[in-house]
Amino acid sequence: MNPPAPLLDVAALLSAYADLQPDAGVPAQRVAFGTSGHRGSAFARSFNAWHVRVIVQAICDFRRLHGIDGPLYLGIDTHALSQPAFEDALEVLAGNNVHTCIAAGGGFTPTPAISHAILAHNRGRRSGCADGIVLTPSHNPPESGGLKYNPPHGGPAETAVTGWIEARANGLLAAPAGVRRMPYAQALRGTRTHDFLHSYVEDLGEVIDFDLIRSAGVRMGVDPLGGAGVDYWQPIAERYGLDLQVLSLQVDPQFAFMSRDFDGQIRMDPSSPQVMQGLIARKDEFDIAFACDTDHDRHGIVTPSAGLLPPNHYLAVVVDYLLRARPDWSLSAAIGKAVVSSGLIDRVAHRLRRRVIEVPVGFKWFVDGLLDGRLAVAGEESAGISFQRRSGGVWTTDKDGFAPSLLAAEITARSGCDPGACYRALTGTLGMPHAARISAPATPAQKTQLAALRASQVAAVELAGERVTQVLERAPGNAAPIGGIKVCTANGWFAARPSGTEDLYKIYAESFRDEAHLQALLVQAQSLVDRALASSAALA
């Protein structure tokens, strides 16, 4: 057991953000977009005022280059660095004459509310289109800062876009005179306010059947985990007449109220059993309970019958439920899943005669399919889901923590049992997967090596007693590199890839046989990855 990390010294962090200037010649201090934006720590000179300024200037340059001249929606979460980053971002946006919309009253803004606002503004437009920036490191520890860009399609920016922004920002980091800024007080006077909260809440009934939830009397509990959605849940309950208890309204940049994660760190990860201990302990008080991460784009579902549902379990239930409960959806709409999502989803989709489109990790790969209706549901192993409106059509093109949380109540109301029981019914028919994910420390160089692994470097014909049927370095659904490898057999698979947010690499494994087979998969996967990394390092 790792010792608990000390609580964040907020004053020291804010000083480091303002005072520690990154060195553009040091790779770890440069701008680097992962699976969803640039993230880092001011203490490590990887998320400081200079990073925010150059990234936002690069975004402004990108907007000019591509004729994006509508409003930019700017949102923040509750991390300590989000407010000073907001001030720096606003100075640069104003210095570039970008019309910026912020939350009324300076409130926090969840990621799905930004995506929803972009799509609502751009509907039917060919000019004057909006885009957005969210200042959030997602569920990462309290000392972290982050910035992600959502272009006019409303979802996470695709690789070509983030690559351009990253390169331009790093050029500016070496020559910051190219950043145009306006004093903050003047910049703030030039902003417009947008009612993200009520716009989002009023439209939420287009996605969730609240009449069904209300008539069934479903008792719900929600823990916002001190995140950006903290002020949204009570208006949702009041607008739709729900029996929904908000368990905490506490906001604290130290996140001292959080249960520690597996390694003693504080993370606002609603898929972690350690983080969710408090809500799990209260599971019998509600018919369904849920929590969301700091920017409310991820969910955690707690049921009386099964406690905290692993995200893969719940995603399979969501797919099975929605494809049967949404008769207005197109029968040709497919299911989007990441390469590390459960094979049970494929079995559910096959039974319902729906296609599965398997893509690399990162919600950006689902954006186009959600926008044009080719995807009915899209979800990741990391607890990110979005799905169509009840009548069909796009809802959000980014992950939405609210909608899948509330859908758990709709599932409970219609099924007469919670999603944990629904999952057991699925596995009783389609087979029981045994799954695990392990993480290990990795240097930036090791992460780069792992992302660059090729199938030819994995010399394995057998995995955990079964013949290897596939070694993938590209996703089957779109042929994009998966940033690692996936090795498959008839009854199991493992995938290894670097974390997009922390100095870790992750191994995912799943067995449709038993727990012993799963452990054999993990052991052999670890050995294969270690040998491949060693081989790659020797060649470098």
To the query of whether residue 271 is one of the catalytic residues in this protein, the response is no
* Strands 33-34 vs 131-135: parallel, antiparallel or unpaired: unpaired
Q: Any bridge partners for residue 387, and if so which?
A: 377
Residue whose C-alpha is closest to residue 224's, from 296, 284, 154, 168: 296
Give the pLDDT band of residue 330 (cuts 50, 70, 90). Answer: very high
pTM of the complete model: 0.94
User: Residue 112: its pLDDT value, please?
Assistant: 98
Give the pLDDT band of residue 535 (cuts 50, 70, 90). Answer: low
CB 301 within 8 A of CB 308: yes
114-172: per-residue pLDDT in tens? 999 999 999 999 999 999 999 999 999 999 999 999 999 999 999 999 999 999 999 99
242-251: per-residue pLDDT in tens? 999 999 999 9
User: Residue 368: its pLDDT value, please?
Assistant: 97
Give the pLDDT band of residue 439 (cuts 50, 70, 90). Answer: confident
User: Residue 441: its pLDDT value, please?
Assistant: 80
Of the candidates 115, 138, 386, 405, the residue annotated as catalytic is 138
Show the tokens assigned to 155. 């979802």
Q: Per-residue pLDDT for 442 more than 90? A: no
385-419: per-residue pLDDT in tens? 999 999 999 999 999 999 999 999 999 999 999 99
Give the pLDDT band of residue 499 (cuts 50, 70, 90). Answer: confident
Q: Per-residue pLDDT for 501 more than 70? A: no
Q: Per-residue pLDDT for 500 more than 70? A: no
Mean pLDDT computed over every residue of the chain: 95
Three-state DSSP class for residue 310: coil
User: Residue 540: its pLDDT value, please?
Assistant: 55
User: Residue 449: its pLDDT value, please?
Assistant: 81
Residue whose C-alpha is closest to residue 286's, from 223, 205, 209, 204: 223
Count CA atoms within 13 Å of residue 221 on its CB side.
Answer: 20
228-286: per-residue pLDDT in tens? 999 999 999 999 999 999 999 999 999 999 999 999 999 999 999 999 999 999 999 99
User: Residue 349: its pLDDT value, please?
Assistant: 97
Q: Per-residue pLDDT for 1 more than 70? A: no
Among all chains, which residue has been given the structure tokens 């993230």? 39
User: Residue 410: its pLDDT value, please?
Assistant: 98
Rounded to an integer, the average pLDDT of 30-40 is: 91
Give the pLDDT band of residue 536 (cuts 50, 70, 90). Answer: low
- Please state, in angstroms and rounded to a whole number, the distance separating the CA atoms of residues 486 and 383: 20
